[in-house]
Every structure is written in structure tokens, then in C-alpha cells.
């Protein structure tokens, strides 16, 4: 039985090269991952959870009972929860290109003995799921009972289904899209420009000195705005002032929302690597499930035996409901079972991390329909 | 008769001090302004046009026939146009705090003989219209026939009406709000952070060296996204690649939208001053027409004799329609004539600069109703 007060992050290294969509090859890869629950005898109860842009493998529980915070989707994963670990074996791995234990720009390049830095190749969502497939193969799991994730994790969910349809049971993409919008690319591009115009960027080879923290903080601040709805910002901050009872009339922050964003930028640069940020946002921007044919319906046709539950968030303006409807519509003629739900929430894009009660209802019902009795 | 091929920007200096809302005082101010058409004998046909955040006094016509581009609202101002210069005397002045000829951070501080730089006080929308009132007083105009502007110009329009109700005829605020939203403040704050974390910022005293051009470019790129709708970005760029037929898999720009934003950032830093950018965005964020009482209805009650035409843009997500409706609703019980129109356009916030045919219809009808025969 999983002890949720002593969750261990495990690391596995595959010495096999991973060929990437760009044509580059990663000579070896390490994946950081966690598991919750027990894999059953016929290995038919595994659920692979994909994290979002800057997330990690620590999806549920605490490393030690003293941890202040549990994993990022803790209300969703555990005994009796939506992803019920009394029934299911839940896996979450850190994506390659990131910086939370899996191979990425901060890793040592075995060819040079130094950190990859700027030499780390740009990876795609397809490459990310290919890396995780090595883990699933290693575990001897033929077909996943379910793949699920929100935002970039939703892209990985869709990509897994497309890349490995015969290895895929249920598919639950949340708050995501079949292709990054021009506006989404634009926000990512400005974030990257902020990082790369920081004098400490040094073309990505900054590990011997200070990193481009100012630029990365700005990138995070921009992104953070896109994760909240206009309404949630109004409710949370409105025009409330930070410290004083009146306006300051200087260059300092006046409003609470300014301090909040500055704080978010500040904590982010302590936990995330700038090269990884460039890498994962490029992966987002490159994502286009309709390629190579340009026909989303055709590209998704091989997934026809998988039941889909597609969930959008009413106030999400980064991946608005239309984008989920586009996916549902592409499946309509070919697929046996498609369910689509718009979750009513003011939280915006990040609601998939917050509205866990609603998600538990939606996902719990869906899983129970397909559960083996 | 105005020769629209030889429009001259005029400059006027007022030696009189201008006390600011912050308590600071500008010892003298210069305003850059342009006029189109003729002021009639009883000085009753003057229309004051307010420009947006980074705009200038050059609203219509060309300085010389060789100019590639006319003024920023040229389709709206001229003989037979919405603001018909055969009937009206149209005035547009550059705002203080800006950098297009009126007193701002790049101006010489008469007390030190050097550029203000970081010593330039933060000005408010109220201060901006107070400065323009000096020009209107100087021209001997008692009551303006109309005040009009979009975005920040719309804030100035509303502020003029509130500050000088007895000097105000028609009021036309476009694509604006009675108070900056938390999300709007957030975007401005990130832009300012980008400028101020550029090592060339030097606390605003950068005029002897290179300015914080990288930071300012990032600020402009962020802002530019907010001026377009998601749909207009999709139509204009979609996921089209810039140069190559395939993805680059490197740190360079892949998508057209990336190059477009980079280009917008690049041209902006050539024409706009970073200190001014800080100053005018602070003015936006400080704007709250409901203050000091907190009651928008009460604060706008003194404008009750002015007919209002409030125009919002259907795809504007920076100042969405609800914000214009809030203004209309605050006027409902007290005012004799309020007209509200949502202009249907995919262009987003910047539609007030683009959809000049629709604006001409709306504004032309409104002006003709109140025109003296």
C-alpha cells in the first residue's frame, strides 16, 4: 500500500538513445517519476498522468509528513479519490526538457561531461511522450487504462493517444488544445525574448554564473496572467493597494496585483531553469496535432477505440472552450464514445489545478463507466 | 482653410506652474499640438481629441506631401469626415508625461538645466487633462463642442467631462473604462518590470548612455498582444511560419507572429522613451473615475448636461464591453442623453484606430443630432 506521507521520487536511466523529431538524438535519458497504488497482475490498471508546463513528477502525497505542501494534484490521486489508488496504479513522470529530475538542459551531456545548456536540443510534445513510453515499456505495461493531463499535460495526453493508440485506453485532455493559438505563441515568444535579452542569458550557457533571473521572472509574470481569468484577478485583487492607504506616485508597486506577480516571478526563478523554460515553451508552440496532414480528424482517427472525456474551463482564455470543442468535433464521426464537458469556473486556465471537486465528479463518473468489475 | 498636406505641429509653453495630484508641481509646461479647421467666431465649434497611450498630437493630415503616413486618426478628421473640418475646429495635443513634444521625462528640468529623467513626477489622467485645459483657456474657448478619444484617450475624455463639466459639450469615450482592471494593471506592471530590470535602466537616468531598449521592447510586445484579439491574431498570423517551410528546432523565431512582435518592439523603442512609458502606464493604472467617493454614479453626476456616446468594441478584451456598459449604467438615472454602441469588430482594442467607417457612421449621426443649424 502506498504511504502518502512518504512518497519517493524515483529515477530511471535508459542507456538507449532517443531519436527526436528534430533529427537530433539524446544519447541517454533519465526520467524522474512517482507511482501511487499497486499495478495489478495483468497490468491493466495503470493511469499515466502528465503534468503541465513547469510541473514535476510529484503529483500526490508528501515526501515526508513534515512537507508543507502535497503534490500538485493531490486532491485527485489517492484512496477513494478520482484516481482511486485502491483500484488504479497511477504514474507521473517529469517531462524531458524540464528541470525537475528528468533529462533536460541542466543535465550532464555524456558526450562532453558538462551540462547541456544551449546544446540541449529542442524537444517536442511527441518526444516528451516517446520518453515516457520507455518508462511504460520498462514497467511491462502493454495498454494504459487511462492517460490524463491539463494544459501542456493535455497536449501530452492527446499526443500519447495519437502516437500509441494501441497502448491507450481512456483519454482525458483538460484545458488544452489541438494546436497552440497565435496568441498563445505570442505570449510564449515575449517570455522567451525577456529571457534571451537578459544579459545573463549568455546564449544559454550561464551555469557558471548568475542565470537570466530577471528575464525569467518577467516571462513567468506574463504567463501567470494568462493562467488566471480577468474575473479571478478582479475578485482576488481588484484595485486594492499593497501597503499604503493612498497611491505612491513613484516607481514602486502600488497595487496588490503587482506585488503578487513580482512574488510569483521571484519564486519561479528559484525553482525553474531558463533553458528549460525556452525548451518547454517551444514544445507548446510547435504542438499541432493536425500535422502532418493538416486534417485533425484524420490524424485522430487511429484513436477511435479510445473513449474520450474532453474537459474545458468556462473562463479559460488561453485554451478557451472552442478549442476543446474543436477536438470533440474532430472525433465525432469516427469515435464510439466521446464526452465533452465545460467546467464552470472563474479561475481561468489554472482551474484544472483548483476545481478538483468538479473534476472528481466528471472524471469519477467517466472512469467508473469503463472500470472492469 | 487647413492644408492637410502641410500640417504643422505647434508648441506652446506656459510659464505658470502646474500643480499635480501627487502634490508635486511642474514649474512650466510645453504642449505640442495640432489644429484642423477654423475656430468660429463664438468659439463654439471646438473638438478636443485625446490620443492613446503612446500617441501624439499628429492626428490628421501630413506634415509634407511626401509623408508616407498621415496622422493616426486621419480617416476621422478632415473635410466631410466624421469630425468635419468644414464645420469644426479640431484640436489634438500631446499629453504631458509622454515624449512627443509635450513636457515629459525627456524635457529639460528648468530647475537643474538637465533632462528630468527619474525626477519627472508621476502624472495622472487628471493632470494630463489639466495641462490641456491650459491650452483651451489660452485659445479662449469657453466650452468644447465635443471631447473624444479611444483607450487612454477615452479615459481623458471621461476625466475632462468630470473635471470641467461646464466646459464640456458632447462626450465620446471609445474602447475605454472608468477604472483600470486588475488584469490591465498586471500587464502594465510586467511591462514596467521588464523596463526597470534592464541593466540600462539605471533608475531612469539613462540619457547619457544606451537606454533600456530591450526591456522597453518586451513591454511593448506584451502590450501589443493585448491590443489585438485572439481572433485577429488567428486571422493575421495563425500558425504560419516566418521563413522556412519547416520548424527550425533552435532558439530563433519560427512563427510569423514572433517576428511581427519583435518588429513592433523594435520600432517602438526608436520612437518612445522608457521613462515616459513608465509614466503613462502608471497614469492608466491610477485611473479610477469613481474616486474619491467610490461611487461612479455620484462622481459622474456633474456631467449630466453632456450628451454621451459610449462606444465599445466587441472583441476588445482589454477594455471589454462590460466596462463601457458600467459607464452607461452609471449615467442612466442622471443624464438626459446617453447613447451606447458596441462596435462589431474582430480587431480587438485597437479597432478604434482601424474601424473608421463604422466609427464615422456612429459619431457622424451623434454629432449631427447636436449640431447647431
3-state secondary structure A200-264: CCHHHCCCCCCCCHHHHHHHHHHHHHHHCCHHHHHHHCCCCECCCCCCCCCCCCCEHHHHHHHHH
Question: Smallest Cα–Cα separation from B178: which of B28, B52, B290?
Answer: B290
Tell me if the bond preceding A103 is cis, omega within 30° of 0. Answer: no
Distance from CA of A79 to the nearest CA of B (A): 39
Q: How far lies B221's CA from each of A189, A275, B187, in Å?
A: 9, 21, 11
pLDDT band for position B175 (cuts 50, 70, 90): very high
As given in the structure block, the three cell numbers for residue A223 are: 504567463
Residues of A in contact with B250 (CB under 8 A): 122
Q: Is B245 a residue whose pLDDT tops 90? A: no
Summarize the confidence of residues B324-346 as an average pLDDT: 96
pLDDT band for position A51 (cuts 50, 70, 90): very high
Distance from CA of B221 to the nearest CA of A (A): 6
Per-domain residue ranges for chain B?
Answer: 10-180+288-370, 184-281
pLDDT of res. B373:
61
Q: Is A52 a residue whose pLDDT tops 90? A: yes
Check CB contact under 8 Å for B285 and A181. Answer: no
* DSSP H or E run through B13: strand B10-14
B193 — contact with chain A (CB < 8 Å)?
yes
In B, minimum Cα distance to A292 occurs at B246
pLDDT of res. A373:
61
Residues of A in contact with B180 (CB under 8 A): 239
Residues 300-319 of B with CB under 8 A from A: 317
Q: What is the CATH number of domain B10-180+288-370?
A: 3.40.50.1820
Residues of A in contact with B251 (CB under 8 A): 118, 192, 196, 203-204, 278
pLDDT of res. B63:
98
Catalytic pick from A151, A232, A324, A345? A151
Check CB contact under 8 Å for B197 and A218. Answer: yes
Dihedral angle, C-alpha B265, B267, B268, B271, nearest 10 °: 160
Among this protein's residues, is B6 annotated catalytic?
A: no
Q: What is the CATH number of domain A184-281?
A: 1.10.1740.110
Residues of B in contact with A23 (CB under 8 A): 249
Q: How far apart are CA B25 and CA B257, in angstroms?
A: 43
Tens digit of each residue's pLDDT (9 = 90 or more) over B80-116: 999 999 999 999 999 999 999 999 999 999 999 999 9
pLDDT of res. B244:
73
Summarize the confidence of residues B128-148 as an average pLDDT: 98
Q: How far apart are CA A36 and CA A107, in angstroms?
A: 26
Summarize the confidence of residues A123-140 as an average pLDDT: 98
Summarize the confidence of residues A127-146 as an average pLDDT: 98
First-to-final CA distance of chain A:
21
pLDDT band for position A1 (cuts 50, 70, 90): confident
Q: Which residues contact B245 (CB under 8 A, 6 or more apart)?
A: none
pLDDT of res. A272:
98
Q: Is B243 a residue whose pLDDT tops 90? A: no
Tens digit of each residue's pLDDT (9 = 90 or more) over B344-365: 999 999 999 999 999 999 999 9
Residues of B in contact with A119 (CB under 8 A): none
Residues 328-367 of B with CB under 8 A from A: none
Out of B21, B218, B258, name the one closest to residue A197 (CB).
B218
Summarize the confidence of residues A187-200 as an average pLDDT: 98
Out of B183, B185, B254, name the one closest to residue A285 (CB).
B254
B291 — contact with chain A (CB < 8 Å)?
no
pLDDT of res. B1:
85
Distance from CA of B22 to the nearest CA of A (A): 6
Distance from CA of A69 to the nearest CA of B (A): 27
Q: How far lies A308's CA from each of A52, A161, A304, in Å?
A: 19, 10, 9
Catalytic pick from B51, B58, B84, B151? B151
Among this protein's residues, is A151 annotated catalytic?
A: yes
ipTM of the complex: 0.96
Residue found by looking up cell 495630484 in the block: B21
Between CA A221 and CA A224, with CA A222 as vertex, the angle to 5 degrees is 65
Computed on alpha carbons and rounded to an integer, the radius of gyration of chain A in Å comes to: 20
pLDDT of res. B163:
98
To probe the interface with B, which of A126, A127, A185 has the most B CB atoms within 10 Å? A185
B217 — contact with chain A (CB < 8 Å)?
yes
pLDDT of res. A302:
97
What percentage of chain A has pLDDT greater than the value 90? 97
What homologous superfamily does CATH list for A10-180+289-370?
Alpha/Beta hydrolase fold, catalytic domain (3.40.50.1820)
Amino acid at each position: 500500500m502506498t504511504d502518502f506521507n512518504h512518497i519517493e521520487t524515483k529515477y530511471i536511466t535508459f542507456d538507449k538513445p532517443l531519436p527526436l523529431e528534430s533529427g537530433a538524438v539524446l544519447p541517454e535519458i533519465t526520467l524522474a517519476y512517482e507511482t501511487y497504488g499497486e499495478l495489478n497482475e495483468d497490468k491493466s490498471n495503470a493511469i499515466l498522468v502528465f503534468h503541465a508546463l513547469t510541473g514535476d513528477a510529484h503529483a500526490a502525497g508528501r515526501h515526508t509528513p513534515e512537507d508543507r505542501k502535497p503534490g500538485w494534484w493531490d486532491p485527485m490521486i489517492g484512496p477513494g479519490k478520482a484516481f482511486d489508488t485502491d483500484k488504479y496504479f497511477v504514474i507521473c513522470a517529469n517531462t524531458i526538457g524540464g528541470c525537475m529530475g528528468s533529462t533536460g538542459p541542466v543535465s550532464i551531456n555524456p558526450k562532453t561531461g558538462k551540462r547541456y545548456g544551449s546544446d540541449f536540443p529542442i524537444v517536442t510534445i511527441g518526444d516528451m511522450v516517446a520518453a515516457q513510453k520507455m518508462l511504460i515499456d520498462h514497467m511491462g505495461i502493454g495498454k494504459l487504462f487511462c492517460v490524463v493531463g491539463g494544459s501542456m499535460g493535455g497536449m501530452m495526453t492527446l499526443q500519447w493517444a495519437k502516437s500509441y493508440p494501441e497502448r491507450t485506453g481512456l483519454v482525458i485532455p483538460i484545458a488544452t488544445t489541438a494546436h497552440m493559438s497565435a496568441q498563445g505563441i505570442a505570449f510564449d515568444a515575449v517570455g522567451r525574448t525577456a529571457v534571451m535579452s537578459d544579459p545573463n542569458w549568455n546564449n544559454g550557457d550561464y551555469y557558471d554564473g548568475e542565470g537570466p533571473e530577471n528575464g525569467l521572472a518577467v516571462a513567468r509574470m506574463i504567463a501567470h496572467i494568462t493562467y488566471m481569468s480577468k474575473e479571478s484577478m478582479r475578485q482576488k485583487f481588484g484595485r486594492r493597494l499593497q501597503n499604503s492607504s493612498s497611491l505612491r506616485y513613484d516607481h514602486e508597486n502600488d497595487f496588490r496585483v503587482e506585488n503578487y506577480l513580482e512574488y510569483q516571478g521571484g519564486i519561479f526563478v528559484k525553482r525553474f531553469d531558463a533553458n528549460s523554460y525556452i525548451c518547454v515553451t517551444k514544445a507548446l508552440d510547435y504542438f499541432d496535432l493536425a500535422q502532418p496532414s493538416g486534417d485533425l480528424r484524420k490524424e485522430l482517427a487511429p484513436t477511435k477505440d479510445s473513449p474520450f472525456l474532453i474537459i474545458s474551463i468556462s473562463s479559460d482564455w488561453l485554451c478557451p472552450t472552442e478549442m476543446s470543442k474543436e477536438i470533440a468535433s474532430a472525433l465525432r464521426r469516427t469515435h464510439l464514445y466521446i464526452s465533452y464537458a465545460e467546467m464552470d469556473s472563474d479561475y481561468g486556465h489554472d482551474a484544472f489545478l483548483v476545481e478538483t471537486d468538479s473534476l472528481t465528479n466528471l472524471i469519477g463518473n467517466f472512469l467508473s463507466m469503463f472500470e472492469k468489475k
